[in-house]
């Protein structure tokens, strides 16, 4: 029994150690900020409007992914170049699609996504109403 346990320990070590030796150190992000508070506020506001395509539930402003760091840098570069908020947004939408927007527009291909929560709530309400009516009729 001890030999089997020793063998398993050696086997697990042989599998785990090579994987940990190849692990990359975490990427350090350079935190970019503008010295002008108005430009910094504008950059942060824009970054909150775009979704991290890696994390998907976080905005570019709050995500720590490489993708978000690149988008933050890109937004700040375009602000320095004098682009408007709309031009920056249009550029990112053209490059990544409407999914990059935290609040995608209601269009013919997204209306179902906007209405789905209300449809699910309506169906759940109908099911609950029918269940209560059936239970009430059985008791009577």
Predicted confidence (pLDDT) at residue 21 exceeds the cutoff of 60: no
How would you class 137 by CB atoms within 10 Å of its CB: exposed for 0-12, middle for 13-18, buried for 19 or more?
A: exposed
- What mean pLDDT comes out for the span 72-101? 92
pLDDT at 25: 47
pLDDT at 22: 46
Predicted confidence (pLDDT) at residue 37 exceeds the cutoff of 70: yes
- What mean pLDDT comes out for the span 115-135? 93
Cβ contacts of 82 within 8 Å, gap of 6 or more: none
Distance CA 61, CA 65 (A): 10
Predicted confidence (pLDDT) at residue 7 exceeds the cutoff of 80: no
- Best CA proximity match to 101, nearest among 66, 56, 64, 62: 56
Q: What percent of the chain has pLDDT over 70?
A: 78
């Amino acid at each position: 029994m001890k030999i089997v346990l020793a063998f398993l320990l050696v086997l697990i070590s042989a599998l785990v150690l090579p994987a940990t030796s190849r692990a990359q150190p975490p990427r350090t992000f350079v935190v970019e900020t503008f010295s002008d508070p108005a430009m910094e506020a504008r950059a942060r506001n824009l970054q909150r409007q775009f979704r991290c395509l890696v994390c998907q539930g976080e905005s570019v402003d709050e995500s720590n992914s490489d993708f978000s760091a690149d988008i933050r840098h890109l937004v700040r570069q375009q602000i320095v170049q004098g682009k408007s908020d709309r031009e920056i947004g249009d550029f990112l939408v053209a490059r990544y699609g409407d999914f990059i927007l935290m609040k995608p527009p209601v269009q013919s291909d997204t209306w179902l996504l906007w209405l789905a929560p209300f449809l699910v709530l309506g169906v759940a309400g109908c099911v609950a109403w029918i269940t209560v009516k059936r239970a009430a009729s059985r008791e009577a």
